[in-house]
Chain A
Amino acid sequence: MQVLDRVKINQEISDLKKTYGDDRSALLPILQDLQEKYGYLPNLVMQETAHALDIHPVEVESVASFYSFFRRKEKQGKYVLRLCQTISCDLSGKAKVARQLENELGIKFGETTKDGMFTLEYTNCLGMCDQGPALLINDRLFAKVTPEKVPQIIADCRRDFVKSEFPKIVPSNVKKSGPILSHDLKPGEGLKAALKNTRSGVIGLIRESGLKGRGGAGFPTAVKWQLAGAAQSAKKFVVCNADEGEPGTFKDRYLLFDHTEMIFDGMTIAAYAIGADKGFVYLRGEYLYLKKHLQEILENRRQNNLLGENILGKEGFNFDIEIRMGSGAYVCGEETALIESLEGYRGEPRNRPPFPVDTGFQNHPTIVNNVETFLDAALICVKGAKWFNEHGTEKSSGTKLFSVSGDCEKPGIYELPFGITIEQLLKEVKGENAKAVQIGGASGRCVARKDFNRTIAFEDISSGGSIIIFGPQVDMLEVAINFMEFFVEESCGQCTPCRDGNVKLLEGLKLLEKGRCSVSYLNELMRLAETIQLASKCGLGQSSPNAFVSIIENFKSEILGRVPEKA
């Protein structure tokens, strides 16, 4: 590049540093803006960014190469078409849409058209599983795409969506509301109620409600807040984990759009309870289209003193929320990976202990909670613990949002009490015909018919809300392959069992597909799966073989001894 370019780039970077700060945690936002501007991250841009932040160029390249939304080699097209490759969209006809996209654009996936208009890519779950196949074009989402619609979509792109017949915002699909979703609270109402209470009173109320983390791990929210509240530190942080990446989950996308105020209420209540003055919403890159909406609400809240200094007249209670975008990495849903990402590193999970409540963002106590958890917490502060825990089971109190997709008549978002059996759930969504249900997404478990009397609850089959239903026609081996491909791609790559082990599991599935896997080797792979579950560094790795193990265990006869069709 020319000298002039260098000067210009440095000026841009120095402007961005003014917006995002000059420490390493500014790295991702800066790169996101620069990529937006240049269509990719040229070497010069990475180098100058590194030197501006006093790190090494290879560190910037390392980070850029980790997140799938960054491009380093060639410029991306004006429109980046990202087709969801998750199993739900597979089940609703993704393959045909993919073929038609290639046909219309004259390129293959991973390529850019010669005129620089279109880049075609696969992406992991877009959170539209109930309305698949889903296609994301820059920050515009398309649902229920069919091959017939493809030419029109491309034509609309060429016209920059002027007079597009496609809706700008895809409506969410709430099929059943419960106490949570049907609340009628006004902005700030949850916060006001909480501020009447003491800090420990708030935590006590949450404890009484029995609220457990809605992300899937089910850690008691009150304990998390209690630990962070008790930690001694000048700075503390509240992080809303809006990196909803689990295949088959889409309830957070809906909540972030329709229940934004209560989520922010929840975050502010958490800040009050633990003594934090800064919060982040870590929003997945795929949900970029929600950013503007969230920012508008935040601005509103600042105007109404629901954020800012001495919030609602509470002397010394200062809190504000910043939105940070992810850049396409499922693993960042793991709380320590998310923190690493916020700090400007690769989203690689940390060793634990120490835990984030003690050593989190920039080594300060940090709580990371799911979107739904914050919503529940805000509602509990107004309506009380009993209102919440009269639903659900003793160990899994309250209702839970489920994202239901796959082979059923009524896919969508359901609010149901914990403790519901799979059978009851299938009846509710009209999917009684199912031969298996994947509960908890790719990292969850595949439950076969014989176990449909099991319950969904932390003490039985735990779930962050993803329910994917497989009808009788579904090839379970293909399902397993889809999930393992997902983990091979989405593993952060740092620890051996997850990085290399999942590759071996996938290779084993490919052998099964060819009908060329001995039972003794399959048993070896099952032992390897156990190792991955036991020895991986983080929750992603530890749960990555769950789908593999449960599908092999439940569908051995369907999977073994295949005779492949002749090509």
Chain B
Amino acid sequence: MEDKEKVITESTVRAPKSTTPSTIKAPEDVGAIGATIKVVIDGKEIRVPLGTTILNAARMLGINIPTLCHHNDLCISGVCRICVVEVEGMRTLQASCAYPISQPIVVHTHTRKVRQARRHVIDLLLARHYGECYSCVRNNNCELQQLAHEYGVDFYRFGHVDKPTYGCDNSSYAIVRDMDKCILCRRCVRTCIDLQEVGVYEAVERGNKTRIGTFMDNPMAQLICINCGQCINRCPTGALHANDPSDAIWAAIDDPTKHVVIQTAPAPRSAIGECFGLPAGNPLTFEMNTAMRYCGFDKVFDTNFSADLTIIEEGTELILRLYKALVKKEPVSLPLFTSCSPGWVKYIEHFYPEMLSHLSSAKSPQQMFGAVIKTYYAELNNIDPADIVTVALMPCTAKKFECNRPEMNSSGFKDIDYGLTTRELAGMFQEAGIDLPNMPKSDFDEPFGTRTGSGVIFGATGGVMESAIRTVYELITGDRIDNLFEHARVMPVRGFEGVRYAELPITKVGPVPDLLKHLIPNWDWLKGATLKVAVAHGTANAKKVLENIKSGGKLSECHFIEFMACPGGCLGGGGMPIPTNEEIRAARARAIYAEDEASEVRKSYENPAIIRLYQEFLVDGPCGHKSHKLLHTSYMPRGKKLV
């Protein structure tokens, strides 16, 4: 297997950007003469590479400079002016986040002028920031509140608005916009345009009338928004938050006629501890199970089960498409695109509707599980599906939109009733007085309770691909993937590079397994073939891949491509604990891969619950009639025109 390589260069795609980047390029060779510069900050000295910002130099020295508009995932902005510092010899204060060091300088971070300016900036932001902290979803996790505290704000120096100016936009299933709390840091703008290339927000008007607007001032539900929620994760205040269904879920729990089941996706368990003060990367899978039962959920299931189910269905779809293309010479759309990420699905529906035929018809694990619960599980336990309330704990805000798609009711009932984010479940736990890290551990409920690593890695970018490779490779070759990759770690598809490409040669083939016998006579046609795959995360990277395919680039030769709307995959999802950054996402990934290694099943087709499901319920096999009805869906070419 070829190692991952860079297949996309930045210049291949013209990208809109929220602002012209103005930085000084870092030297290629840090060891070269003149490549590093001496800086003195608050009397401490350090040598930094040319172009390092004052903020980063200060951080290297352990000196804290407050920030607000700055975010490590986003380009430099320098608009809030909270991070100003005094540079000797300069008349004005400099924004440390935006000042690239190009000559030796002496910096002071807390002189009178600096303290006064910071305090004024906070006072000015508070003067127009409507609302009270105790009625805000971000109470105790708000950057503005934190700064007000740190800088000793004890009165509204420049007054305070007592009436809302904009009102709250609740129209979207996923994202609530409360512009009265907006402080114009423009992180959402940079997130949506630069990071995701969706372009919902921009600053409109100017001067004191400046606000963050949407096209035609449309409400969120009537925009080209993919519901990824990345803007929420980067909003410093409560101006952007998710549409929280927990009251309705409590009501269902309180209703004795309802059988309330919750499925938990892989990513939330890796991060929910962060809501309880734990550092990132401390999974609380089994504590969470106990806590959910304590809250009153009747059953606690693991979405890993339906992740495995997705692999079987999507993997079969891939094999069938390859078979049609290579053997029957029928026209089929290749590469096949994954469809697990509802943000990604809406992205392609809006921006590349002409490529929808590439999208796997398999529902996402969330929806598959819902359909299975309201059919198979309901029959098994003799419960009227009308009385079942399915809740999905997800790292994702787009899942809230997905579960409300009108087509997602093939059993006659809504597959999933409520999509709940990690943050919101943590809120429910807190409301129930649960100290999550200290809960006793307990397992998932049967009949879907097998601990499966091939499901859990869905939480990280590349996970679906890795899982698919493990299963498809073994089904085709009859060989163990472990012989190719130590501990079945398919390293070429792991990591955080935006687009990753890998090749997997099929040197030998085995017998067709029972599960697929009715679809494929033999594997001979794959012998000697090379399976080409790619992985992309963040829709800006997805765009690069799609453009590469459209222009007949290297990626158009791929057979299978995994797309995740969020940077990092689900573990960077819009419903995950705030804040987020590269280190936090890496820590969550480590937790996910550790759970994979500790699992009894690490290949989807070996999951006994899956085998049982096909034996007892989906008897016409993967991609059969019944699974098509329940587990597959169709898409809508939405386009990007609002008028």
| Chain A residues packing against B (C-beta within 8 Å) | 1, 24, 43-44, 46-47, 51, 54-59, 61-62, 65-66, 329, 340, 343, 345-346, 348, 350-354, 359, 363, 488-497, 499-504, 524, 527-528, 530-531, 533-537, 542
The answer on a CB contact under 8 Å between B205 and A65 is yes
Partner of B16, one of A59, A353, A504: A59
Take A353-B102, A354-B22 as given contacts and tell me if A493 and B216 are in contact as well, using a CB distance cutoff of 8 Å. Answer: no
The answer on a CB contact under 8 Å between B95 and A537 is yes
**B-chain residues with CB within 8 Å of residue A65 when the two chains form the complex:** 204-206, 213
The answer on a CB contact under 8 Å between B22 and A534 is no
**A-chain residues with CB within 8 Å of residue B100 when the two chains form the complex:** 353-354
Cβ distance B48 to chain A, nearest Cβ, rounded Å: 15
The answer on a CB contact under 8 Å between A493 and B203 is yes
Take A1-B643, A535-B117 as given contacts and tell me if A496 and B80 are in contact as well, using a CB distance cutoff of 8 Å. Answer: yes
**A-chain residues with CB within 8 Å of residue B599 when the two chains form the complex:** none
The answer on a CB contact under 8 Å between A492 and B206 is yes
Take A493-B207, A495-B80, A537-B95 as given contacts and tell me if A59 and B202 are in contact as well, using a CB distance cutoff of 8 Å. Answer: yes
Place the interface of chain B in its size category: 35 or more
**A-chain residues with CB within 8 Å of residue B193 when the two chains form the complex:** 56, 59
The answer on a CB contact under 8 Å between A500 and B208 is yes
Take A62-B204, A534-B117 as given contacts and tell me if A496 and B79 are in contact as well, using a CB distance cutoff of 8 Å. Answer: yes
Q: With the chains together, A537 CA to B184 CA distance in Å?
A: 15
The answer on a CB contact under 8 Å between A346 and B124 is no
**B-chain residues with CB within 8 Å of residue A24 when the two chains form the complex:** 16
Take A51-B640, A58-B199, A59-B202 as given contacts and tell me if A494 and B16 are in contact as well, using a CB distance cutoff of 8 Å. Answer: no
Asked if B81 CB lies within 8 Å of chain A CBs, one says yes
Asked if B201 CB lies within 8 Å of chain A CBs, one says yes
Besides the contacts A493-B206, A494-B184, A535-B81, what 6 more A-B pairs have beta carbons closer than 8 Å?
A43-B216, A55-B199, A58-B204, A345-B20, A489-B207, A500-B128
A-B contact pairs, 13 of them (CB 8 A): A51-B640, A56-B202, A58-B199, A59-B202, A61-B204, A351-B76, A353-B24, A363-B20, A493-B203, A500-B124, A504-B158, A535-B121, A537-B79
The answer on a CB contact under 8 Å between A531 and B117 is yes
Partner of A62, one of B99, B202, B641, B643: B202
Asked if B335 CB lies within 8 Å of chain A CBs, one says no
Asked if B215 CB lies within 8 Å of chain A CBs, one says yes
The answer on a CB contact under 8 Å between A353 and B99 is yes
**B-chain residues with CB within 8 Å of residue A501 when the two chains form the complex:** 120, 124
Asked if B84 CB lies within 8 Å of chain A CBs, one says yes
Q: With the chains together, A186 CA to B23 CA distance in Å?
A: 43
Take A493-B207, A531-B117, A537-B78 as given contacts and tell me if A47 and B643 are in contact as well, using a CB distance cutoff of 8 Å. Answer: yes
Q: With the chains together, A350 CA to B76 CA distance in Å?
A: 10
Q: With the chains together, A47 CA to B224 CA distance in Å?
A: 12
Instruction: Write out, one digit per residue, whether chain B residues 97-121 have a CB within 8 A of any chain A CB (1) or not (0).
Output: 0111010000000000100110011
**B-chain residues with CB within 8 Å of residue A59 when the two chains form the complex:** 16, 193, 199, 202
The answer on a CB contact under 8 Å between B22 and A499 is no
Q: With the chains together, A501 CA to B209 CA distance in Å?
A: 13
Instruction: Write out, one digit per residue, whether chain B residues 606-643 have a CB within 8 A of any chain A CB (1) or not (0).
Output: 00000000000000000000000000000000001111
The answer on a CB contact under 8 Å between A47 and B641 is yes
Residue of A nearest to B199 (CB): A56
Residue of B nearest to A55 (CB): B16
Partner of B200, one of A58, A497, A524: A58
Q: With the chains together, A24 CA to B193 CA distance in Å?
A: 15
Q: With the chains together, A24 CA to B18 CA distance in Å?
A: 12
**A-chain residues with CB within 8 Å of residue B207 when the two chains form the complex:** 488-493, 499
Cβ distance A218 to chain B, nearest Cβ, rounded Å: 13
Take A350-B20, A495-B79, A497-B81 as given contacts and tell me if A66 and B206 are in contact as well, using a CB distance cutoff of 8 Å. Answer: yes
The answer on a CB contact under 8 Å between B202 and A351 is no
The answer on a CB contact under 8 Å between B203 and A531 is no
The answer on a CB contact under 8 Å between A329 and B206 is yes
Asked if B127 CB lies within 8 Å of chain A CBs, one says yes
Asked if B19 CB lies within 8 Å of chain A CBs, one says yes
Take A493-B210, A500-B128 as given contacts and tell me if A542 and B92 are in contact as well, using a CB distance cutoff of 8 Å. Answer: yes
Partner of A54, one of B14, B201, B208, B643: B14
Q: With the chains together, A44 CA to B216 CA distance in Å?
A: 10
**A-chain residues with CB within 8 Å of residue B215 when the two chains form the complex:** 43, 46-47, 56-58, 61
**B-chain residues with CB within 8 Å of residue A55 when the two chains form the complex:** 16, 199
Partner of A534, one of B92, B203, B214, B640: B92
**B-chain residues with CB within 8 Å of residue A524 when the two chains form the complex:** 157
**A-chain residues with CB within 8 Å of residue B117 when the two chains form the complex:** 497, 531, 534-535
Asked if B93 CB lies within 8 Å of chain A CBs, one says yes
**B-chain residues with CB within 8 Å of residue A535 when the two chains form the complex:** 81, 84, 92-93, 117, 120-121
Q: With the chains together, A501 CA to B128 CA distance in Å?
A: 11
Asked if B426 CB lies within 8 Å of chain A CBs, one says no
Q: With the chains together, A56 CA to B543 CA distance in Å?
A: 14
The answer on a CB contact under 8 Å between A504 and B22 is no
Q: With the chains together, A354 CA to B50 CA distance in Å?
A: 12
Q: With the chains together, A215 CA to B19 CA distance in Å?
A: 26
**B-chain residues with CB within 8 Å of residue A58 when the two chains form the complex:** 199-202, 204, 213-215
Interface centre among B98, B203, B214, B640 (most CB of A within 10 A): B203
Please report which residues of chain B, range 106-164, place their CB below 8 angstroms from some CB of chain A when the two chains form the complex. 113, 116-117, 120-121, 124-125, 127-128, 157-158
The answer on a CB contact under 8 Å between A499 and B16 is no
Please report which residues of chain B, range 182-212, place their CB below 8 angstroms from some CB of chain A when the two chains form the complex. 184, 186, 193, 198-210
The answer on a CB contact under 8 Å between B213 and A62 is yes
The answer on a CB contact under 8 Å between B200 and A493 is no
The answer on a CB contact under 8 Å between A499 and B208 is yes
Please report which residues of chain B, range 9-37, place their CB below 8 angstroms from some CB of chain A when the two chains form the complex. 14, 16, 19-20, 22-24
The answer on a CB contact under 8 Å between A503 and B208 is yes
**B-chain residues with CB within 8 Å of residue A490 when the two chains form the complex:** 206-207
Take A65-B205, A350-B22, A489-B207 as given contacts and tell me if A54 and B16 are in contact as well, using a CB distance cutoff of 8 Å. Answer: yes
Cβ distance B580 to chain A, nearest Cβ, rounded Å: 23
Residue of A nearest to B122 (CB): A496
Interface centre among B93, B120, B128 (most CB of A within 10 A): B120
**A-chain residues with CB within 8 Å of residue B22 when the two chains form the complex:** 350-352, 354, 359
Residue of A nearest to B102 (CB): A353
Q: With the chains together, A54 CA to B643 CA distance in Å?
A: 17
Q: With the chains together, A56 CA to B95 CA distance in Å?
A: 29
**A-chain residues with CB within 8 Å of residue B116 when the two chains form the complex:** 527, 530-531
Cβ distance A515 to chain B, nearest Cβ, rounded Å: 19
Residue of B nearest to A42 (CB): B643
**B-chain residues with CB within 8 Å of residue A496 when the two chains form the complex:** 79-82, 121, 124-125, 184
Q: With the chains together, A61 CA to B23 CA distance in Å?
A: 27
**A-chain residues with CB within 8 Å of residue B199 when the two chains form the complex:** 55-59
The answer on a CB contact under 8 Å between B20 and A343 is yes
The answer on a CB contact under 8 Å between A44 and B643 is yes
Partner of A502, one of B78, B79, B201, B208: B208
Residue of B nearest to A62 (CB): B202
The answer on a CB contact under 8 Å between B95 and A57 is no
**B-chain residues with CB within 8 Å of residue A348 when the two chains form the complex:** 19
Q: With the chains together, A537 CA to B199 CA distance in Å?
A: 25
**B-chain residues with CB within 8 Å of residue A542 when the two chains form the complex:** 92
The answer on a CB contact under 8 Å between A491 and B206 is yes
Q: With the chains together, A492 CA to B215 CA distance in Å?
A: 20
Partner of A351, one of B98, B209, B214: B98
The answer on a CB contact under 8 Å between B642 and A57 is yes
The answer on a CB contact under 8 Å between A66 and B205 is yes
The answer on a CB contact under 8 Å between A61 and B216 is yes
Cβ distance B98 to chain A, nearest Cβ, rounded Å: 4
Cβ distance A306 to chain B, nearest Cβ, rounded Å: 32
**B-chain residues with CB within 8 Å of residue A329 when the two chains form the complex:** 206
Cβ distance B532 to chain A, nearest Cβ, rounded Å: 28
Residue of A nearest to B198 (CB): A56
The answer on a CB contact under 8 Å between B213 and A351 is no
Q: With the chains together, A337 CA to B202 CA distance in Å?
A: 17
**B-chain residues with CB within 8 Å of residue A530 when the two chains form the complex:** 113, 116
